[in-house]
Amino acid sequence: MKKSFYLLASSAVLLALAACGNNEESASGSNAENEERTTVEFFQVKAEAVDTFNVLIEQFEEENPDIEIDQNTVPDGMTVLTTRFSTGDIPDLFITYPVEEDYVLRVNNDYLMDITDEGFIDDINPEIQDRYIENGRMYGAALSLNANGVLYNKEIFESNNIETPETWDEFTAIFEELEAAGETPLIMGNQNVDQTSIFNLNFIAQKFDADFWERFNEGEIDITEDEEWREASEKMLEILQYAQSDHMGTNYDQGNEMFAGGEGAMYFMGAWVLPTLREMNPDFNENFGYFPFPQTNNPEENVTISGVDVGLSIAEDTEHPEETLKFVEFLIEEAQQFANMDGSFSAVEGVEVQDEVLEGLSPHVENNQVANWPNHYWAGGTAAEADFRSHTQNFFNHEDIDQYLADLESMFSSYR
Amino acid sequence: MNNNAYKSLSKGYMMFLLPGLLLLSIFYIYPVLSAVYMSMTNWDGVSRTHDFVGFSNYLTAATDGRFLNALSFTLQYAFVSTVLSNIIALSVALALVKKIKFRNTFRAIYFFPAVLSMLIIGYIWQQIFYNVIPYIGERINVEALQTNMLGNQDLAFWALVIVTVWQASAILVVIYMAGLQTVPEDVYESAAIDGASGWKQFFKITLPLIVPSITICFILAMKQHLMVYDYIVALTGGGPGFATESVTLLIYNLGFLNNRFGYGTAVALMLFVFIIIVSIIQISYLRKKEVQL
């Protein structure tokens, strides 16, 4: 009895081992076939851009039959990327946004390849590309830009004889007028904490430049005593009162549905929302448009927030530096094709946006009347951004400016 | 069986323990030990190096307002949800063991929430809080209910409790039903002969005899609710503001958003120890209440 038991157990173990052996064999077999092709892993976090990249990858692989680009897209990609950095399993090529804490941290730990001297860097708009400068060198290349403005419902604007505003006073007058006419002037999805900053960073971005943030991060500025911060907060509250009644209970998806369904006149949103809204409303392109957010009464001073949407970094430790660089170079060369398919602004010079809705923001983007997302300059980076949003959501609830500024001051000082 | 045979047999049994022990060591014991070490470092999750900082992460937590806020939210939430879900589950179980019409149909209906995935529950309740409850609020003219509870600083807590209790009760009902069916009929009969009324029977007979079920249900529910994460991610994301940030969500945020892996691990271990202590207290208290027939 006992013997047969051991026999059974050992044969089971043997079987398992044999199965392992088989697997290894087949794996090495398929490797041998592809021996001449180099595989480059492209870790791509932007789910909407997968098809676009697939088209470009196909073209690239046709031109370079010895290179295979493996596009890897997973849900919650940025978190997965962070995990892969912590475990040392770093993809050859991945998306990185400039200036952010994550980027700086990766640069300072020598994870990213220095690409300052590559030829394709000269093709990129220096205004944007310079955001990648860290310790005097660049470790990333900008391909496309997002942009953040005011989406508006043309039907509602036309039926109330309203033109798109260029100044703050015109802007607030429109809200007044629309409300008097019984329309919902503004849709907001403030239940999602990230929506709060898409709105209010417009003011922060316009008021403060990179130099300010440098002094700010040094602790030279106290938010609670800064008039500009107070003024920005007042402007936030002034706009907030025109949002639909339950804006704190509306989330991003519900907000999109309401706006695409024509329930409100304006919506503060970045260009990334356009594919979603087009899916919800087939007539979106005819009925909706963009105009830049008018923060002040001087149209020349107003800016559109525009950050790098797709920016590429190469791992310092990659086994295939040449192949990866070749692919990045190819993407920068094909920026017009990318922009056409992706419907986004390009960071590459000479590329024009083809999207009829997005064109409303072109005057600002083409004149370089743009500002980076301010949170990219904050000492706490992504973390400070998340805290900032939560405090802002609180503020939209209690509407107490002193409390808000005090919260922000203690939050920011914890990161300095 | 002689001693030698026993020895060789027990050796055989030991061999069978090995694979399990190996798996346990690799996937459980090693990670826990490395987490203990990591909690004493300032690792940011990305750097190639880190410093050993001793217990300073734990000391930081003691004065960190955000951690204390998360802890107090989690405790209140776990306590309220555990008590409510157990009371509701026990009442439902009492009804469902009686010979009522459509008993099996009701049993299926009450179990339904337990088989839904968290994502689906998130979507369903998002819609209920967004559309249905404000509609009811308007009809019955209660101002607080006219907007989405999830966007309201004070009501978001209760919104989460409602969803939690709704789902958590389902499993507890099953455990309570099983417990109630072990109480023999004759005890009730003799109690009835002695003139004990329905309530008296419940408190003097039913309750003491199902204490083992109560122990299990309280510990399971308490543990689950102290570690609440999915409901919050699916419904509020910790908001509005920081109003519903639980300790587990804070751990995640610290690690993956704030790049403070070391500190996040310290908080996680504190939660781990805390849950053990709460469970031990619950077990030792309820064990004393158990009676044998």
What is this model's ipTM?
0.77
- Mean pLDDT check: name the lowest of A66-75, A240-249, B70-79, B250-259: B250-259
DSSP state of A283: T
CA distance A43 to A25: 28
User: Does residue A31 lie within any of the structural domains?
Assistant: no
- Check if A246 contacts B (Cβ < 8 Å): yes
DSSP state of A301: T
The whole-number pLDDT of residue B193 equals 86
CA distance B164 to B225: 8
User: Does residue A332 lie within any of the structural domains?
Assistant: yes
Q: What DSSP string describes A28-67?
A: HHHHHHTTTPEEEEEE---GGGHHHHHHHHHHHHHH-TTE
Interface with chain A: mutation pick from B1, B8, B38, B47, highest number of A CBs within 10 Å: B47
DSSP state of A164: P
Amino acid at the residue A145? L
Q: Yes or no: is domain B61-289 CATH 3.40.50.10210? A: no
* A265 and A160 assigned to the same domain: yes
- DSSP lists the bridge partners of residue B41 as B52
Query: Nearest chain A Cα to B10, which residue?
Result: A2
* A93 and A175 assigned to the same domain: no
Q: What residues in B contact A398, CB-CB < 8 Å?
A: 153
In whole angstroms, how far apart are CA B142 and each of A96, A305, A397, B128, B149? 48, 41, 19, 17, 12
pLDDT at A29 over 70: no
Question: Whose structure tokens read 């199965």?
Answer: A19
What are A345-395's pLDDT values in tens digits? 888 988 888 788 888 888 888 888 888 888 888 887 777 888 899 899 989
pLDDT at A219 over 90: no
* Cβ atoms of residues B265 and B35 within 8 Å: yes
* A96 and A238 assigned to the same domain: no
User: Does residue A229 lie within any of the structural domains?
Assistant: yes
Which of A365, A386, A403 represents a domain boundary (last residue)? A365
CA distance A356 to A1: 80
Under the banding of pLDDT at 50, 70 and 90, the label for residue A22 is very low
When divided into structural domains, chain A yields a total of: 2
Strands (DSSP E) along A185-334, which ranges? 186-187, 266-270, 288-291, 304-305, 308-314
The whole-number pLDDT of residue A35 equals 56
Give me the residues of B, 230-259, that contact A with CB < 8 A.
236-242, 253, 256-259
Q: What residues in A contact B236, CB-CB < 8 Å?
A: 191
**HSE (CB half, 13 Å, CA atoms) of B54?**
2
* Cβ atoms of residues B149 and B158 within 8 Å: yes
Closest to B45 (Cα-Cα) out of A78, A73, A314: A78
* A213 and A344 assigned to the same domain: no
User: Does residue A404 lie within any of the structural domains?
Assistant: yes
* A332 and A359 assigned to the same domain: yes
Helices (H), chain B: 3-24, 30-38, 56-63, 65-97, 103-115, 118-127, 133-139, 156-181, 185-193, 198-201, 207-209, 211-226, 230-235, 247-252, 261-289
* A296 and A406 assigned to the same domain: yes
**HSE (CB half, 13 Å, CA atoms) of B188?**
14
Query: Nearest chain A Cα to B245, which residue?
Result: A390
CA distance B97 to B166: 20
pLDDT at A97 over 80: yes
**Nearest 5°: phi and psi at A164?**
-65, 140
Instruction: Using 70 as the pLDDT threshold, list the residues of chain B that sit under it.
Output: 1-2, 293
Enclosing domain of residue A189: 148-305+378-415
CA distance B137 to B181: 41
**Nearest 5°: phi and psi at A187?**
-110, 130
Please indicate whether, in this complex, the C-beta atoms of A2 and B12 are within 8 angstroms of each other. yes
For A39, the token pair is: 């595989």
CA distance A361 to B24: 57
- Can you give the CATH number for the domain in which A166 is found? 3.40.190.10
User: Does residue A5 lie within any of the structural domains?
Assistant: no
Task: Looking at the complex, report in whole angstroms how far the Cα of residue A352 sits from the nearest Cα belonging to chain B.
Answer: 35
pLDDT at A34 over 60: no
Q: Which helix (H) or strand (E) holds A150?
A: strand A148-153
* A184 and A194 assigned to the same domain: yes
User: Does residue A28 lie within any of the structural domains?
Assistant: no
CA distance B238 to B47: 28
Please indicate whether, in this complex, the C-beta atoms of A250 and B148 are within 8 angstroms of each other. yes
* A404 and A281 assigned to the same domain: yes
pLDDT at A42 over 90: yes
The whole-number pLDDT of residue A278 equals 87
Q: Which helix (H) or strand (E) holds A396?
A: helix A381-398
Question: Whose structure tokens read 């994550």?
Answer: A102
In whole angstroms, how far apart are CA B276 and each of A254, B32, B60? 41, 14, 22
The whole-number pLDDT of residue A15 equals 46
Amino acid at the residue A15? L
Q: What residues in B contact A193, CB-CB < 8 Å?
A: 237-240
| CB-closest option in A82, A249, A382 to B150 | A249
User: Does residue A174 lie within any of the structural domains?
Assistant: yes
Please indicate whether, in this complex, the C-beta atoms of A397 and B240 are within 8 angstroms of each other. yes
CA distance A138 to A308: 14
Q: What residues in B contact A89, CB-CB < 8 Å?
A: none
* A107 and A56 assigned to the same domain: yes
Q: What residues in B contact A245, CB-CB < 8 Å?
A: 147
- DSSP lists the bridge partners of residue A377 as none
Question: Whose structure tokens read 């997968």?
Answer: A50
In whole angstroms, how far apart are CA B22 and each of A19, A20, A146? 20, 19, 50
For A66, the token pair is: 């010895």
High-pLDDT (> 70) share of chain A, %: 91
* Cβ atoms of residues A93 and A374 within 8 Å: no
User: Does residue A26 lie within any of the structural domains?
Assistant: no
* A294 and A235 assigned to the same domain: yes
Under the banding of pLDDT at 50, 70 and 90, the label for residue A28 is very low
* A208 and A250 assigned to the same domain: yes
What mean pLDDT is predicted for residues A43-52? 86
Please indicate whether, in this complex, the C-beta atoms of B134 and A105 are within 8 angstroms of each other. no
* A90 and A239 assigned to the same domain: no
pLDDT at A17 over 50: no
Using the CB atoms, write b or e for A87-117: b if 16+ within 10 Å: eeebbbbbbbbbbbbbbbbbbeeebbbebee
Query: How many other CB atoms are found less than 10 A from the CB of residue B146?
Result: 18
